[in-house]
Structure 1
Amino acid sequence: MEKLSKRDLILIGLMLFSLFFGAGNLIFPPFMAEAAGENTWIVTSSFFITAVGFPVLGVVAVAKSGGLTNLSRRVNPLFATVFTILVYLSIGPCLGIPRAGSLPFEMAVAPYLPENISIALALFIYTFIFFAIAYWLSLSPSKLVDRMGKVLTPALLILILIMVIGSIIKPIGGYGAATGDYATSPFVKGFLDGYLTMDTIAALNFGIVIAVAIKSKGINDEKEIVNTSIKAGIIAGILLAVIYALLAHLGAASGGRFGATENGAQTLTNITTYIFGKPGAILLALIFTLACLTTCVGLITSCSQYFSTLTEKISYKNWVRILTIFSMTFANMGLTKILSVTVPVLNAIYPVAIMLIILAMMDNILKGSSVVYKLTILFTGVISVVDALGQVGLTLGFVTSFISKLPFYKEGLAWIIPAIVGMILGVCIKFAKESFNSNKVLSDKASN
C-alpha cells in the first residue's frame, strides 16, 4: 500500500493548521486571557475543547464518514442537504470568507491610515488585492500543500514566534484579576469562546480539501486517506494548542499591564507596540493578513469543491470566481455588520455540529443507527435554534419560556441535557428494536 512520506505528512498538517488559523484564532485567545487574568489557564483548558479538540475530531469524523454529506445523511437525506448547504454558506461566502477579508483591514490597517484617506476606498483596494491573491491560490487546490505548507504557514509561524521571543526579551508583566464571566464561570466561558473560532464547523468543510491534497501526492487508497487525515489533524491540533497557549499568556500579561480593551486586535496592538514600538504595527498587519489569507483560501476551495458537486453546469473554477466576487462585495459592507449575525448563527449551528461529530466518533458502536442520529440531532437542533432566535429578539412563546428553564441556559449551554437525553432515548429504542427482532427470529425458528 502506498504511504505518504513523513515530509509530505508534516506539510499537509501545516496546511491544515493554516486553514484553521485565521484572524479569529489570533485575536480571541489573547482577548479572552486579558479578561481571564489569574483564571487564564482554566479558561484556556475549556477553550481547547471547542477550539482544538472538536475541530480535530471533525476532520477525523468527516474522513471516516467519507464526507460531510455522507455523515449528515445518517440523520436524514433532507437534513443532509439543508445542513450541509447551511454549513458551507455560513462558514463560506455569507460569514466566514467576508470576515476573513475585512477583519485584517479593520483591525490592523484602518487604525493607522491618515485621516484624509477614505476608509471605504481603502477597504475596497485592500479587499480587492486580498481576494485577488486568494482567488489565484484557490484555482489550483492540488498545489495548496506546497504553497501553504512550505511558504505561507512557516511565514505565519515565524511572525508569531518573533512576537513571542520579543515578549521574552522584554517581559510585559504579571497576570491581572479575572473579570465578569471569566471570574464567575471561567470553564464555561472558555468553552463558549471556542465557538467564535468557527473551527468545528470549518473542520466539516476542510475534509474535502485534505482529501484532495492527499490524493495529489499519489495516495488513492481510502483507508490510507483516512489514516493520513487523522495524523494531519493531530499535527494541526498540536500546533493550534501551542499557539493558543502562547497567545493566551501574552493576553493575560497584557491585561495585567494595560487593563481591559474592546477587542483582541487592541490587545495585540498593545503587546506589539510595547515590545517593538511603531514597527510592531507592521508586524501585526502581516500576521493578520497571512492568517486570514490562508483561512480564506481554504474556505473558498472547500466551498467551491462542494458546490461544484451539486451541479455540472458550474465548474469548480467558476465557483471560485463566484464565491470570491460575492465575498469581496460582502466584506466591503464592514466587519461590524458581519459580526452582528455571526454569534447567533454559530450558536444555532455549533451544537448540532458538535453532536454530529460525537455520533460519528461513536459509530463503531452505533452502526449508523438512524434513530440515534435523528433523536440526538432533533433534540439538539430545536434547542439551539430556538435559543439563537431568542438572542436576536425572536421568541416563540412557551417554547422559549420552556427552554429558558433548562439547566445551563444562562451559560448558553441549554442544548447539552436535551442532546444527552435524545442520544440515550435513541440508543434505548435501537437496542429495544434489535432485541425484539432477535426474539422474533428465535420464535420463528422455534415454531418451524
Structure 2
Amino acid sequence: MTEKKLQFRDYLYVGSLLFGLFFGAGNLIFPVHLGQLAGSNVWWANLGFLITGIGLPFLGVIAIGISRQKGILEVAKRIHPLYGTIFTALLYLVIGPFFALPRLASTSFAIALQPFVPSSTQKLILLLFSVAFFFGAYLFAKRPNKLLDYVGKFLNPLFLLLLFVLILFAFLKPLGSFNVTPTDAAYLTSPLNAGLKEGYNTLDALASLAFGIIIVTTLQQMGVKQPKTIAKDTIKSGFISIVIMGIIYTCLALMGTMSLGQFALSENGGIALAQLADHYLGTLGSILLALIVIIACFKTAIGLITAFSETFHEIFPQISYGKWLIITSVLPAIFANVGLTNIIAGALPVLMFIYPLAITLIFLVLTGPLFKERQCVYVSVTVFTLIAALCDGLNALPLKLQSLPVIQDILALAQHIPLFSIGMSWVVFMPIGLVVGLILAPFFPKKITKEA
C-alpha cells in the first residue's frame, strides 16, 4: 500500500483531535483562577503555566512519536516488561475510571447544571447526569475509527466556537486592566514559579502518554504506515495542538485578571467564568457556559475511555475491547457520585507517585540517543526516581495511614531530601540515577531495540 503524505488540513484535523482530548474542564478553569491570583504579574505566571501546562505534554507527544511505538505500554517495557505493565495500568487507572473520568462528570455537573438544580434533588440529578454522560461517551467510543470525525472535526470546533464568543466579549468589553495587585503571595514574590506549579497540576503530561495510542492509530487509519513517518506526523500534529492550547490559556488567564475590575477573587475559575458569562450575556451566558463545559468534558471522556479500553485490551487480551468499554463507562458513572473532594483525596497519593515516573520516562525517551539507548540507564534512572516518587506518594496519604510506624519511619528519613516538602524530591534523585546509569553503561552494553 502506498504511503500517504498528509496535507496541512490533515495535520489540522489531527491537531484538533489531540487538543480536544487534552482540553477538559480543568484546563478551562485553571488559567482563569491563575489570572485572578496573579494580577499584574499575569504575564510571568502565564509563562510558567505554559511551560509545564503545554511544554510537558508536547514533550510527551514527541516522546511517543520518536519512540516509534504504538503507545506507552511498549515504551515503558523498555525498563522491564513487568514494570511496563504495572506502570501503564496505574497511569490509565488514575486518568481513567478512578480519577479523571469521574471528575469530568462531577465537574461539568457542578459548573454547568448545579446552579439550576434545587439542592434537595442535586444528588439524584447528578446520578442521572453521570449515567447519561458516560452512556453517551460509551456510544462514541464504540467506534474508535471515527474519533477524528467526532472530536477533531465536530465537537472540538464547536467547543472552540462557543468559547470564542465568551472570549470575544471579554476583550471587546474588558471589566478592568492588568494593573491590579496580585491576590496571592506566591504570585507576588515568584509568579513564574507559581505558574509552573499550576501548569504541573493539569496532569496533561500523563494524558500525553495515554493519548499516544489514539494519535498513532488515527494516523495509521489515514494511510500513514511507516513508523518514521508516523513519528514526524505525530510531532507536527502535536505542535498544532499546543499552539491552540497556548493561545486559549493566555486569553483565559488575561480574562481572569481583568475580571477583578468587576468581581472579587473567586474560590475557583469555574465560579469566575460563570460570573463573566452572566455579566455579558445573562441567562444566555449561563447556557453558553454550560455547553462549553459539558462539551469540554465530554470530548475528553470519549478519548480517555477509548485509550483506556484499547490499552487494557492489549494488556489483558482475553477481555474484548467492547467489554473494557462497558467497564470503563460504568465505573466512573458510579464514582462521580462519591464527591469531587473525595475523588481528589483518594487519587492524590497515586498521582504524586506516578507523575515523576511519567516525566522520567519522557526524559529517557527524548535523551536516549545521547546514552546510546543503554537499558541500564533506563533502569537506573527509573529506580532512583521510584524511591523519591514512593516517598512523595506516602507523604500524600491520609493522616491515618501516615501514622503507621513503618510509614512514619520512611517519612522521617525523607524529610532530609531537598525539595521533599514541596513534593519534588524526584528532581534530586533523577540526576543521581542518570549518573549511576552512565557509570554502569560500559559494563551493561545491552541497548533498547527499536522498530525500524
Tell me the TM-score normalized by structure 1: 0.92
SS in structure 2 opposite 1:2?
coil
Q: Which residue of 1 aligns with 2:27?
A: 25
Measured in 2, the distance between the counterparts of 1:110 and 1:412 equals 34
Inter-CA distance 39–348: structure 2 relative to 1 (3 Å threshold): farther
Q: Which residue of 2 aligns with 1:293?
A: 298
SS in structure 2 opposite 1:368?
coil
Q: Which residue of 1 aligns with 2:436?
A: 425
Q: How does 1:385-400 map to 2 (within 5 A)?
A: 385-392=390-397, 393=399, 394=402, 396-400=407-411
Q: How does 1:64-79 map to 2 (within 5 A)?
A: 64-65=66-67, 66=69, 67-79=71-83
Q: How does 1:40-439 map to 2 (within 5 A)?
A: 40-65=42-67, 66=69, 67-115=71-119, 118-175=121-178, 176-178=180-182, 179-392=184-397, 393=399, 394=402, 396-431=407-442
Measured in 2, the distance between the counterparts of 1:183 and 1:33 equals 12
Tell me the percent identity.
36
Q: Deviations along 1:221-275, whole A, 9 cap, x unmatched?
A: 2221111111111111111111111111111222353222211211211221222
Measured in 1, the distance between the counterparts of 2:426 and 2:378 equals 15
Q: Which residue of 1 aligns with 2:18?
A: 16
- Partner AA of 1:119 in structure 2: Q
- Report if the CA contact (8 A) 1:36-1:43 is conserved: yes
Measured in 2, the distance between the counterparts of 1:38 and 1:384 equals 35
Measured in 1, the distance between the counterparts of 2:20 and 2:240 equals 11
- Report if the CA contact (8 A) 2:394-2:411 is conserved: no
Measured in 1, the distance between the counterparts of 2:364 and 2:51 equals 16
SS in structure 1 opposite 2:79?
coil
Measured in 2, the distance between the counterparts of 1:347 and 1:180 equals 24
Q: Per-residue deviation at 1:124?
A: 1.6
Measured in 2, the distance between the counterparts of 1:407 and 1:248 equals 32
Measured in 2, the distance between the counterparts of 1:99 and 1:258 equals 27
Which deviates more from structure 2 when the two are superposed, residues 320-329 or residues 255-264?
255-264
Inter-CA distance 357–13: structure 2 relative to 1 (3 Å threshold): same
SS in structure 1 opposite 2:211?
helix
- Partner AA of 1:15 in structure 2: L
SS in structure 2 opposite 1:109?
helix
Q: Which residue of 2 aligns with 1:443?
A: none
Q: Per-residue deviation at 1:195?
A: 3.0
Measured in 2, the distance between the counterparts of 1:312 and 1:145 equals 25
SS in structure 2 opposite 1:269?
helix
Q: Per-residue deviation at 1:294?
A: 0.7
Q: Which residue of 2 aligns with 1:446?
A: none
SS in structure 2 opposite 1:84?
helix
SS in structure 2 opposite 1:220?
coil
- Partner AA of 2:27 in structure 1: N
Q: Per-residue deviation at 1:398?
A: 4.5
Measured in 1, the distance between the counterparts of 2:260 and 2:417 equals 34
Tell me the TM-score normalized by structure 2: 0.91
- Report if the CA contact (8 A) 1:196-1:346 is conserved: no
Measured in 2, the distance between the counterparts of 1:145 and 1:282 equals 27
In structure 1, runs of 5+ residues without a counterpart are 435-448
- Partner AA of 1:174 in structure 2: S
Measured in 2, the distance between the counterparts of 1:189 and 1:381 equals 25
Q: Per-residue deviation at 1:205?
A: 0.9
RMSD (Å), alpha carbons:
1.8
Q: Per-residue deviation at 1:339?
A: 1.9
Measured in 1, the distance between the counterparts of 2:424 and 2:358 equals 14
Inter-CA distance 380–187: structure 2 relative to 1 (3 Å threshold): farther
- Report if the CA contact (8 A) 1:177-1:256 is conserved: no
